[in-house]
Structure 1
Amino acid sequence: MAAQTDDSKYFVREIEKNDGCVLRMKQCYMGDVGCVVWDAAIVLAKYLETKQFYEPSTGVNMWCGRTVVELGAGTGVVGLMAATLGAQVIVTDLEDLQTLLSANIQENQPLIKSGSISAKVLKWFVALFNIAMKYVVHKLHICYTLTLFLFLPRGEDVSELLPHPHYILMADCIYYEQSISPLVETLKQLSGPETSIICCYEQRTEGVNPEVERRFFELLQQDFTCEKIPSDKQDPEFSSPDIHILHIQRKH
């Protein structure tokens, strides 16, 4: 009876993979923006299946064995796609989305063979907290480790996700103005010199969205390079002129 009550909160969107298997993504009837599958997330998920992620000579899927962190995972569709392709995935978001993430991981577990997936809480503002604490430590000559232990919420910062993953995935994370600086700082702390960041976002022209995008790229390009992926390298069916995919790398 309890399971039926829980299921009544959700409606399901099915996303077919290239191998014919189907991801069943639960979405919430009520909730914030992270409770539904957005178009940019589907575009990114299907992009992970395209031919550039396969070794031409052997046909081996290049996601196998790769470590992946998804930021702002929401329903978890992008991370789940990567896990079904063989990646070792951690999907991250705020506390109030952990139940939905867990439900979707459980729902799609039979599709995950050689890969793995788990969910963790990650708050981007904690990246800025780390910067502030380092300044305090420097000025007051106190122990940085002790300071973090006393003041930092457990399990909510990037230290739980290190060492640096092979890939960071993010879909439609360029949304809230107040989250831009924390997001960029999180990318700086989480990525290493060999980490590839794949960002997919829908370009929106109304309200503050153009300014939010401008500010994001202004901050990002101080420490990262960006390459836009042309539409002919994306999934032929799941792509749109308004949805952009970027490959982002730390500057050396």
Structure 2
Amino acid sequence: MTTIRHLEHSSDDARLGVSTTITFENKYEFCGYSFKIVRFINANLGYSAYVWEAGLALCRYFERENISFNGKKVIELGSGTGIVGILATLLGGDVTITDKPNIMTQIENNVCINIPTACRQRIKVRPLKWGEDHTNFLTDYDFVLGSDIVYSSVTYPALVETLRHLVKQGGAIYLSTEIREKNGSTSFHEELLPQHFNCQVVDNLEDKDIIVYKMTKIATSPGDGLLTENK
């Protein structure tokens, strides 16, 4: 169900010519939790103002496989609305949700709506530009999550660099991708990523051309391969 609303602005905003923000509210249920995801439609957020089917597919996968993030460090890339990172928080993770700086307000709004006060200390919202400021983040994440972030071949080298930096040896990366042949997403997953990660398909929605991949770092030293992988 989708509800259309308008965010109220102050009289000062009106005097300065600030337009009213139109929002859409979408409701979802995963893993026993109900979500209300608010999207800022006319805030120049581009593709980030949508809940993409690949993100919902990743949430469904976590639900079906009974994935737990309890006590784990999790980071989501290109979050958009924040739905995947919010679910990971509710499933016990210590989560950092990231996207471009102009997307922060939309994500923070959804965090406030969906994360109980008692869990707020386990979720952070931070800007992250792949290949630029990823080194401002630690290298010890147990899980790195991304849904529909494989959409432009121009960004692929920076995305790989960021993934390699963030995930720890023995950690897991989950990418849910809608395959679009024109953007080279197939070669990204089948040729580029296997140079750096052990890759496997864990879910395939053939009717929607969406594939969920699980990846782990290829061991770079004799002891690395002995570390236990996350589920």
Q: Which category describes the TM-score, using the shorter chain as reference length?
A: 0.7 to 0.9
Offset at residue 176 of structure 1 (A): 1.2
Q: Please list the CA deviations of residues 206-226 of structure 1 after superposition, one character each: whole Å capped at 9, or x if unmatched.
A: xx22x2431454221111111
Q: Please list the CA deviations of residues 26-54 of structure 1 after superposition, one character each: whole Å capped at 9, or x if unmatched.
A: 1122331111110000111222222352x
Moved over 3 A (4+): 5-8, 111-115, 238-241
Q: How does 1:1-252 map to 2 (within 5 A)?
A: 4-5=8-9, 8-19=21-32, 21-30=33-42, 31-53=45-67, 62-110=68-116, 113=119, 116-126=122-132, 157-205=133-181, 208-209=182-183, 211-215=184-188, 217-231=190-204, 240-252=207-219
**2:84 corresponds to which letter in structure 1?**
V
Cα RMSD between the aligned structures?
2.4
Contact 2:7 2:22 in 1 (8 A): no
Offset at residue 163 of structure 1 (A): 3.9
Offset at residue 241 of structure 1 (A): 4.9
**1:201 corresponds to which letter in structure 2?**
T
* Long gaps (5+) in structure 1: 54-61, 127-156, 232-237
Offset at residue 3 of structure 1 (A): 5.2
**2:22 corresponds to which letter in structure 1?**
K
Structure number with the bigger relative contact order (C-alpha 8 A, sep ≥ 6) is: 1
SS of match in other structure, 1:63: coil
More strand by share: 2
Contact 2:76 2:146 in 1 (8 A): yes
TM-score (ref. length: structure 1) = 0.73
Matched-pair identity in %: 27
Cα 1:217–1:182, aligned 2, differ >3 Å: closer, same or farther? Answer: farther
User: How many positions carry a matched residue from both structures?
Assistant: 203
Contact 1:87 1:115 in 2 (8 A): no
* Long gaps (5+) in structure 2: 1-5, 10-18, 220-231
Counterpart CA distance in 1 for 2:59 and 2:206 is 11
**2:61 corresponds to which letter in structure 1?**
Y
